[in-house]
Chain A
Amino acid sequence: MNHLFEFLLRQGDNALVLGHRMSEWCGHGPALEEDIALANTALDLIGQTRLWLELAGDVEGKGRDADALAYLRDAYDFRNLLLLEVPNKDFGHSILRQFLFDAFQVPWLTELSQSDDERVAQIAAKSHKEALYHLDRSAETVIALGDGTQQSNQRMQIALDYLWPYSGEAFADDETDVAMQEQGIAPLPSDIKEIWHDRVNAVLEKAQLQQPASDFAHKGGRNGACHTEHLGHMLATMQILQRSYPDAVW
């Protein structure tokens, strides 16, 4: 197995799948200011996607570029976290998901920007700046919605209860992670679990949300073993033109 390729797909697919989900909000946000902010997040993520997948294609060496990887792979070849593919429900759900991911990305990208692989370090450094702002905004919004009204607190708790079992997958090390660590490309994801936990707890506390007791974690996204049913529908939408008109250049 080409572990570096696998690793890069994970970075690119996380950004792609979450960027796509956030882009679905454009034109439907709760206030114009929030609509615009969500689109900025989506634009950052899709920008990151292009960098990671372009590099993944180079590393693979079979002539696939970022678009070929994004538009011409089926669900079992995607390597994103399950957390990021579940559909948007309400705004609170989307912003909480964004927060759980941002709280991972910030320490993760901090580490990756020290990677021994110069290309990885560069993409991580650029993405890290974006992730810092995303985290700042998503954390504040989660706190506001958790603390705001009784109704909003209830909605956020429901979202948290739904999303929580999807949050542990990020830290489940596997052989690709070990290989990346041995090559000095990335730390083990489990190494940043504590930082993530502390940050998430601090925000949930301010938001007056109860962290679910169970630490059960759904798995199967980052190794492609078993995605949710939702990813297929996302890809059916996202890939329709590339799939329907294979000869076309857009």
Chain B
Amino acid sequence: MYAQMIKSEATEDDPQRLAEFQARIDAGEKIEPKDWMPEGYRKTLIRQIGQHAHSEIVGQLPEGNWITRAPTLERKTNLLAKVQDEAGHGLYLYCAAETLGVSRDEMTEMLLDGRMKYSSIFNYPTLTWADMGAVGWLVDGAAIMNQVPLQRTSYGPYARSMVRICKEESFHQRQGFHIMMAMVKGTEAQKRMAQDALNRMWFPALMMFGPSDKDSVHSSQSMAWKIKMNTNDELRQKFVDETKPQADYLGLTIPDENLKWNEETGHYDYTEPDWNEFFEVIKGNGPCNADRIEARQKAWNEGAWVRDAMMAHAEKKRGAKANGAAQ
């Protein structure tokens, strides 16, 4: 998902306090910033919310890649509004993480020097306009599947930012599907673009949910703390089950020969993505990792003089006001 492979931090706290903390979570109470919390809970959340925020910000890039080339004025505004929302979502999430005692600037530095990660999906390129459709339909579709249950997560500021994000994101997936609908009704070239986009995006979208449960060793503590609400495989299955009929509606073929309805399980069987590829992308070897970080680094470096100057101006104004008041 937007937060993949979040390792739960070990926690060395008083067992009595830990038990009381767990009881609050089990009772469905929300944990608020000033409440006592295990150090592991705090650190795991910083990593998870930070990774989620970074994913929103880096996620602006592959779609931002097509804002200047959108084919109509209406598509241009829709896409721009969507990519702008992602900046907003990154902002809400950074603010939620900041309540845990880490600043946005610190998190940004950790993204840029590789100490913090972002979702693997944004390391894949957007090559045609159909990718704007496929990203909205599949990537936002997968994200929503994870984010809806996170509205009930135990950490108050995180849960509240997810509520806001889910409300705003409701148009994102539809925006993507709408593009796909136009493409499949269009010319041969457009149909080809649409199928090509699905071919490239399908397995990377499945990877968003993180490794298979049998290889995912970090889940149980996070699930007990209600900062992870479902297992990776549960959500992946739900995604496949919901997406297959949508692909049928579009007349597109999901690039998986093994994708078949299974009467016994009541779900679709499907081929797992290539997990070696996934781990390579996480390590930095995806098609766009270097470009994405370079773009973020550039914005950060070139924005420094602006951030400094605006702060300096505000301080001068404050100083002048204080002087005026003293006289």
Contact = CB atoms under 8 A, between A and B. Distances in A.
A228 to B, nearest CB: 17
Interface centre among B295, B303, B307, B310 (most CB of A within 10 A): B310
B313 A147 contact: yes
A4 to B, nearest CB: 21
Contact of B72 (A29, A42, A67, A147): A67
B60 interface: yes
A241 B71 contact: yes
Interface in B269-309: 295, 298-299, 302-309
B77 A43 contact: yes
A220 interface: no
A29 B303 contact: yes
Interface centre among A16, A24, A152, A237 (most CB of B within 10 A): A152
Interface string B35-75: 00000000000000000000001001100100111111111
B7 interface: no
A152 B305 contact: yes
A36 B72 contact: no
Given A250-B75, A250-B129, A28 B299 contact: yes
Nearest to B65: A27
Nearest to A147: B313
Interface string B299-327: 10011111111111110100000000000
A148 interface: yes
B69 A238 contact: yes
A149 interface: yes
B306 A34 contact: yes
Contacts of A149: 305, 308-309, 312
Contacts of A249: 182, 185-186
Interface stretch (B85-93, B111-119, B162-170): B85-93
A20 interface: yes
Given A39-B87, A70-B73, A250 B80 contact: no
Contacts of A242: 71
A30 B72 contact: no
A225 interface: no
Given A36-B87, A39-B84, A92 B306 contact: yes
Nearest to B299: A28
Contact of B302 (A42, A91, A144): A91
Contacts, number: 149
A102 to B, nearest CB: 18
B164 to A, nearest CB: 14
A250 B194 CA distance: 12
Contacts of A247: 187
A249 B74 CA distance: 13
B80 A28 contact: no
A23 B306 contact: no
Given A71-B71, A245-B187, A32 B57 contact: yes
Interface residues of A, number: 51
Nearest to A28: B299
A27 B83 CA distance: 8
Contacts of A79: none
A32 B91 contact: yes
B27 interface: no
Nearest to A237: B68
Given A31-B307, A71-B72, A91-B306, A148 B312 contact: yes
A26 B60 contact: yes
B81 interface: yes
A49 B73 CA distance: 8
A31 B303 contact: yes
Contacts of B305: 90, 149, 151-152, 155
B155 to A, nearest CB: 21
B189 interface: yes
B190 interface: yes
B76 interface: yes
B137 interface: no
Given A24-B68, A27-B60, A148-B311, 19 more contacts: A23-B80, A26-B83, A28-B298, A32-B88, A32-B90, A34-B306, A35-B84, A39-B80, A50-B73, A67-B73, A90-B305, A91-B302, A92-B306, A148-B309, A149-B309, A152-B305, A155-B305, A249-B186, A250-B72
10 contacts: A30-B306, A31-B303, A36-B87, A50-B74, A67-B72, A71-B71, A91-B303, A145-B306, A240-B69, A249-B186
Interface of B: 57, 60-61, 64, 67-77, 80-81, 83-84, 87-88, 90-91, 94, 129, 179, 182, 185-187, 189-190, 295, 298-299, 302-314, 316
